[in-house]
């Protein structure tokens, strides 16, 4: 498990934004991963995607790493942010924008606003 933890730690710390998900950002393999990847893609966020379905060690390892039982999992600047429900709430409340602003992560502010308008 140490190997998986080391690999996860390296990925999380070497990328500003990382999404551990089922599938890839181009082809999510579950609805929850699709929702979070869709938000990030629509907002134009540059992020690393890690497909947990292609590596069982990482699939279990990420749950242990974050002490969070579900996937997807979003990390910003090395910090665990949350899963699908949390990211959805943060997107709709504007908290995700604030988090990106505070951490110097570029995104399309107009796209973020359109998400809120469409769901408001």
pLDDT (tens place) for every residue of the chain, 120 residues total = 469 999 999 999 999 999 999 999 999 999 999 999 999 999 999 999 999 999 999 999 999 999 999 999 999 999 999 999 999 999 999 999 999 999 999 999 999 999 999 997
Q: Which two tokens stand for residue 85?
A: 């429900």
pLDDT of residue 94: 97
Distances (CA, A) of 38 to 19, 42, 43, 77, 115: 11, 6, 8, 20, 11
Name the packing angle between helices 95-102 and 109-119 (round to 10°).
Answer: 170
Q: What is the rounded distance in angstroms from the CA atom of residue 108 to the CA atom of residue 40?
A: 10
Q: Is 30 annotated as a binding residue?
A: yes
pLDDT of residue 2: 63
CATH level 2 (architecture), domain 2-119: 3-Layer(aba) Sandwich (3.40)
The pairing of beta strand 73-76 with beta strand 17-21: antiparallel
Helix, strand, or coil here: 61?
A: helix
């Amino acid at each position: 498990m140490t190997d998986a933890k080391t690999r996860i730690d390296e990925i999380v710390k070497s990328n500003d934004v990382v999404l551990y998900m089922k599938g890839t950002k181009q082809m999510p393999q579950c609805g929850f991963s699709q929702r979070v990847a869709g938000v990030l893609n629509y907002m134009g966020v540059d992020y690393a995607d890690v497909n947990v379905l292609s590596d069982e060690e990482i699939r279990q390892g990420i749950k242990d790493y974050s002490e969070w039982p579900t996937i997807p999992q979003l990390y910003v600047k090395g910090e665990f942010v949350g899963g699908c429900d949390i990211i959805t709430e943060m997107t709709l409340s504007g908290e995700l924008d604030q988090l990106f602003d505070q951490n110097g992560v570029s995104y399309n502010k107009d796209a973020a606003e359109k998400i809120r308008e469409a769901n408001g």
